[in-house]
Structure 1
Amino acid sequence: MAKRHARRDAARNATGACPCGTGQPYPQCCGRLHRGEADATSAEALMRARFSAFAVGDADYLLRSWHPTTRPARLRLDPGQRWTRLEILGTERGGLLDNAGTVAFRAHYREAGAPGTLTEHSRFTREDGRWVYLDALPD
């Protein structure tokens, strides 16, 4: 069932706006990263791509973009949870010349018809020249 939802969401976003909120079409925005055609150029770009991966159900990309020391062995996405909007609350470092950075964000979702939010301050680092998600800072 989860794969069916993932395919449906990916098909819906194939020509629509990217879930990450940039306003760009999904194929030219996060879709390029999900397909492995490009790498994120900053910690924020990776955060946006990871949010989009949750929104379209791309668990493989989420695992590929996770640091090997903190990455789970597998990831099961909840098919009943729909990620709807991302707000970037702030960034620190994480640019072209940095090797580490943080992104604070609020992700909006719907589950069982009810709205919800996830607020996190995530750490990112470069691994072999690519940005990867490391972990969440404690509150």
Structure 2
Amino acid sequence: MQCPCNIDATYSDCCQKAHQNIESVLSAQALMRSRYSAFVLANIDYLQKSHHSKTRPSKKEKRDIEKWTKSVKWLKLEVLKTTKGTTTDAEGTVEFKAFFMENGSINVIHENSSFSIENNHWVYVGAQE
């Protein structure tokens, strides 16, 4: 199966590794890509695990996210810019666009996301203002 985050990679060679072991994720961009794939695959447990403990959605929000992500058709991911977020950093940002179809219209999430290290692995903190 093609990886949702990268048309040139298979899921087993790309995001599946992250989904099976979050500690294998070595950069903020890799975590962001694995989170996009988790949205496409409705892997809500991974989305929770890869979310910073201080900003992690509640159980009710988790159910709402799962319902929504299953209701849309994910189209593609474009990574626009990455700042820091490598193996030598404790934080970083990734700007991206995630395209999806909802109710017959193409929509886009354009976000500059913050990431940090928590419990020895990368986590999503939230969207930068």
TM-score higher than 0.5? yes
Partner amino acid, structure 2, of 1:34: H
Deviations along 1:9-58, one digit per CA (max 9) or x if unpaired, are: xxxxxxx1100015211022101111227521100000000000000110
Aligned partner of 1:73 in structure 2 is 58
Q: Does 1:101 align with 2:92?
A: yes
Does 2:110 align with 1:119?
yes
Q: TM-score, normalised by structure 1?
A: 0.84
Amino acid at match of 1:91: T
Could you say what the CA RMSD is over the residues aligned between the two structures, in angstroms?
1.3
Identity %: 39
In structure 1, the gaps of 5 or more residues are 1-15
CA distance in 1, matches of 2:58, 2:13: 29
Q: CA deviation at 1:114?
A: 1.5
Mapped to 2, the partners of 1:87 and 1:52 lie a distance apart of: 12
- 2: CA distance between counterparts of 1:22 and 1:36? 22
Partner of 1:39: 24
Name the aligned partner's letter for residue 24 of structure 1: A
Q: Supply the distance in 2 between the matched residues of 1:37 and 1:103 (Cα, whole angstroms).
A: 18
1:48 maps onto 2:46 in alignment:
no
**What TM-score results when the alignment is normalised by the length of structure 2?**
0.90
Structure that is richer in helix per residue: 2
Q: Which runs of 5+ in 2 are unaligned?
A: none
CA contact (8 A) 1:32 1:38 kept: no
Q: Is the 8 A contact 1:108 1:117 kept in 2?
A: yes
Following the alignment from structure 1 to structure 2, what is the Cα–Cα distance between the partners of residues 48 and 102?
Answer: 12
Which residue of the partner structure matches residue 18 of structure 1? 3
